Structure 1
Amino acid sequence: MIPLVPQPRPNNAARNVLRRLVQSETPPTAPMNIVQRLAGSPYANPMIQVGKVEESSRKSIDFALLLAETMFRYGAGAMEVETSIIAVTAAFGLRGIEVDITNQSVIINYARRDGIPITVLRVVRSWTNNYAGLVQVHELVSEIVSGGVAVPEAHQRLYVIIKRPKPFPRWMVSVAEAVFVAAVVGVIGGSVFGMLVALLAILLVSQVARVLGKWLVPDFFITAVSSFIVTAVAVLCFMFHVPLSPSLVVAGGILLMLPSGRLVSAVQDAINGFPVTAAGRFLSAFLTFGAIVGGIAVALVTSALFGAERLNVAEPIAGSQPLILVLPLVAVATVAICIAEQTAARLLLPTMAVALVGYLSYYVSLEVGLGDRFAPALAAVIVGVLARVVALHFRSPQLVVAVPSIIFLLVGLSIFRAMFVLTLTPEDSGVGALGLFNALVVILAVAAGVVLGDNIARPFARRNGVKDKRRNRRR
């Protein structure tokens, strides 16, 4: 008889180990859940509201669209808008949401269970400076995510935010812009008289720009006229032998018009995965540069017709004031630009502190020999970290603190000089092209530094570690 050999028992534990070695738990081709975009943001782990979700779905989507339009109008970046939409819709219990954001439009698609999908579109046609409103919207989203605001109340509170007047009147904004330009002229080495001339020129520019805005003149021509006025004032002072540096007056005046924040936001959008929005902002920024160069060129040509000597407004800044004098000017200018951007009053001093630390790190980096490219990047990383910490403490978006704090890295001024040389001095086109490349490298380094600092600070700046670790729960 043939002896019977017992069959070996399957080793389930070994089989499970082998399966984990050859196959991951999450296949690499599986789609990412859209709620995972909230990881690391202030809106992570939203509290989901239940009850009559399908009946109020259209109202929830309409609120999300109005929220996105308001945030874009007030100056938010694409990443901030997308995370806010996802957080709000997730808190209202909507599943199957898809969001598509471009430079001036937002599309939301909602695939209901066993129903016809809903696709809605909102186009943003106007922009305004209102960082205080952006902070209030951020607070509203935070309260919705925590589960304390229902859809009808959210609509009502958002309409109140939209209709609420800005914190600072127009005359104060005009004065703040003039003070900012005067302080910048002092920082880059101008005299007291040069600061006064720049202040008066910007006051004149703001009044002319307001009149042109009432006439619905496009921003391109308003920027060109503004740069023309600043250059004309500097040229007149030079013709009458006024003791000041015309190039410094022009540089300080156009720094207010330069789209430095828009360039940084464009690079941030590209890094965060919004190439269409980034391309639109880049195009808008370079059109602004073209308007500035055109206005300055017309002023210089006009002055040459009257016998004035040709000025080199793109000459590099040779020197500056001592650090003990520069720091107060940086503080005053930061507060002034915050007022011009309509920042909330409670954020003025924290933003000034972040700007001072950023400028000190930039100054020390240059002194130790890190170079003109690495020093702004290192300062931007520090600003990004501090801006995230301050923003979470005061319940505001990070860019509200970061954008005014990086103005003194002068990323826009370098690209203006390169475009001016490339456009108006064809014999130096090689120098202009090289300068443009270096300026773009610095802008990329600054924007990447702000984003890197933001991501570095997120794990260490959570408002409540226990809440961040909890699972989504329903109430």
Structure 2
Amino acid sequence: MDGTRTLHRTLDLCLKVGEVLLSSGAGAADVVATMRALSRALGVRQSQIDVTFTSLAMSVQLDPDEPPVMQIRQVTQREIDYEDLTRVDHLVREVAAGRKDLDGARTELAQIVSSGHARPRWAATLGWGAMCAGIALQLGGGAVVVLVALLAAICIDRLQLLMTRRRLPVFYQQVAGGVVATVLAAVGTRLAEPFVHLNASLVVTANIIMLLAGIGFMGAIQDALSGFFVTGGARILEAVLATAGIIAGVSGGLSLCAAIGLEISGLSLPQFNLVGVTAAVLGGGLAAAAFAFASYAPWRILVPVGLLGGVGIVVTEFVAEAGFGRPWAVGVSAFLIGLFGYAVGRRFRVPPLVVVVSAVVPLLPGLSIYRSLFLLGEEGGTRVADGLLAMATAASVAIALAAGVILGEYVAQPVVREARRVEQRLAGPRLVGVTRARRRRK
């Protein structure tokens, strides 16, 4: 009786850990490998784990003549909290090392998931504002552009928070965010017109990147590459739908502004010189660190993430200037971020997922999406082909980002014998979780 009760408690712990990982954007391969390592460390061997986009299932058959013990857990809430993800990762490592037993692990996990966020919600809103301000600076905007981008991001975040509480789907939240970004940029341009020139396009682009930052491109591509096609397909569909919401919102906002006489000027890009690259590096570093802050990442990782994000901007610009296309430039930069993100994560005791997702935020294809929408909306439709090409470039950049980061993790994490034994031939690099488990026999 006690053995059966312990087994149920072990499966429950593994499923709750998997839920935290999956809801925070971890890949299905990482979730399965972490749950299996945790169960083996607690003495449960030969477990079968199944992960889909909305549920987790785990079963154990102790004897061929007995029915299997099976538990299922639904994943109903998806909110990125890198502080909880880091604490759960540390908890799994403690159990795997034999320093924490089942009861202690269950108690600590209950404290983690019930303690709320590490920072107040208004601090996260300010983080989103700082992220958009950094993107505006990265694109060459002046002080007024940076300020308007910050205020627009704060308004968008509060609006989306209100819509979340009303249980409106993410698609409608993205549409509303795109409309608000465009209209506020146009209004800001009109108000600032007598005093200073305001490039509203930079504000819209910064807010597009803010809306893109929460989309799970990384987990979707990782699942597809590691053989979890059902989960990967669901995540890709979610990402496509959320991106379509952004496109619909910004497109509708541009049409609305044109109808009421609030024209938005074309996009002017910063020049590739010492001043322009310096501003881009500072802005990109600020955007990466601010995203990590808004996602409740531990304080100790903010500066390394900012530095890695700035390095990513430098590499991207120099590769692009060498004659490579934007997707290749972004892919090379993402590869280096994935390569060094693993070492940075280990050094500062956070999962590499926290580092790489935050560091690639300045490289998201908000610029290509806005350029595509602007060209497609030009009067007379004379540049439709250019607009479609820009949209294809945006899709290529998104894929290059995720694929480059994951390739960097492949190179950074050599497959050792212990990792193969724990993961049992699971494909893909580990962005969350342990690679070794200390087996405990009951």
Fold shared by both chains (TM-score > 0.5): yes
Distance 1:428 1:204, change over 3 A: same
Equivalent residue letter for 2:70: T
Q: Deviations over 1:41-92 (max 9, x none)?
A: xxxxxxxxxxx76552111111111111122223322222111111011112
Q: Which of the numbers 152, 155, 164 marks the counterpart of 1:201?
A: 152
Distance 1:444 1:273, change over 3 A: same
Alpha-carbon separation, structure 2, partners of 1:332 and 1:415: 22
Q: Which of the numbers 411, 419, 431 marks the counterpart of 2:365?
A: 411
Residue of structure 1 equivalent to 2:77: 126
Distance 1:432 1:118, change over 3 A: farther
Distance 1:109 1:338, change over 3 A: same
Alpha-carbon separation, structure 1, partners of 2:103 and 2:408: 37
Equivalent residue letter for 1:458: Q
Residue of structure 2 equivalent to 1:58: 8
Q: Which of the numbers 451, 463, 467 marks the counterpart of 2:406?
A: 451
Residue of structure 2 equivalent to 1:77: 27
Residue of structure 1 equivalent to 2:46: 96
Of structures 1 and 2, the one with the larger relative CO (CA 8 A, separation 6+) is 2
Distance 1:118 1:202, change over 3 A: same
Shift of 1:408: 1.6
Residue of structure 1 equivalent to 2:339: 385
Q: Deviations over 1:296-334 (max 9, x none)?
A: 23323333332344x467x57464752233322222222
Residue 107 in structure 1 maps to residue 57 in structure 2: yes
Alpha-carbon separation, structure 2, partners of 1:388 and 1:150: 28
Residue 343 in structure 1 maps to residue 343 in structure 2: no
Greater displacement, 162-171 / 378-387: 162-171
Residue 360 in structure 1 maps to residue 330 in structure 2: no
Residue of structure 1 equivalent to 2:136: 185
Alpha-carbon separation, structure 1, partners of 2:304 and 2:29: 23
Residue 328 in structure 1 maps to residue 282 in structure 2: yes
Q: Deviations over 1:163-214 (max 9, x none)?
A: 1232221121111111111111111121211111111222222333333333
Equivalent residue letter for 1:62: D
Aligned residues: 419
Structure 2 matches for 1:137-286, cutoff 5 A? 137-240=88-191, 241=193, 243-259=197-213, 261-286=215-240
Equivalent residue letter for 2:331: A
Alpha-carbon separation, structure 1, partners of 2:232 and 2:439: 36
Retained in 1: the 8 A contact 2:128–2:291? yes
Alpha-carbon separation, structure 1, partners of 2:61 and 2:415: 37
Q: Deviations over 1:424-471 (max 9, x none)?
A: 9876554444434333333222222111111211239999xxxx9999
Residue of structure 2 equivalent to 1:20: none
Retained in 2: the 8 A contact 1:289–1:416? no
DSSP 3-state at the match of 2:57: strand
Distance 1:67 1:316, change over 3 A: farther
Give the gaps of 5 or more residues in structure 1: 1-51
Residue 296 in structure 1 maps to residue 250 in structure 2: yes
Distance 1:306 1:374, change over 3 A: closer
Alpha-carbon separation, structure 1, partners of 2:241 and 2:268: 23
Equivalent residue letter for 2:205: A
Alpha-carbon separation, structure 2, partners of 1:89 and 1:456: 28
Distance 1:430 1:399, change over 3 A: same
- How does the TM-score come out when normalised to structure 1? 0.80
Equivalent residue letter for 2:141: G
Residue of structure 2 equivalent to 1:442: 397
Greater displacement, 217-226 / 263-272: 217-226
Equivalent residue letter for 2:21: M
DSSP 3-state at the match of 2:212: coil
Shift of 1:107: 1.4
- How does the TM-score come out when normalised to structure 2? 0.86
Structure 2 matches for 1:455-470, cutoff 5 A? 455-459=410-414
Alpha-carbon separation, structure 2, partners of 1:308 and 1:470: 59
Equivalent residue letter for 1:98: Q
Distance 1:222 1:338, change over 3 A: same
Alpha-carbon separation, structure 2, partners of 1:210 and 1:470: 39
Distance 1:100 1:312, change over 3 A: farther
Q: Deviations over 1:137-161 (max 9, x none)?
A: 0001111111222211111110011
Alpha-carbon separation, structure 1, partners of 2:404 and 2:117: 31
Residue of structure 1 equivalent to 2:425: none
Q: Deviations over 1:354-406 (max 9, x none)?
A: 22232222233223333322221111111111111122223322110000101
Shift of 1:421: 5.6
DSSP 3-state at the match of 1:258: helix
Distance 1:462 1:436, change over 3 A: farther
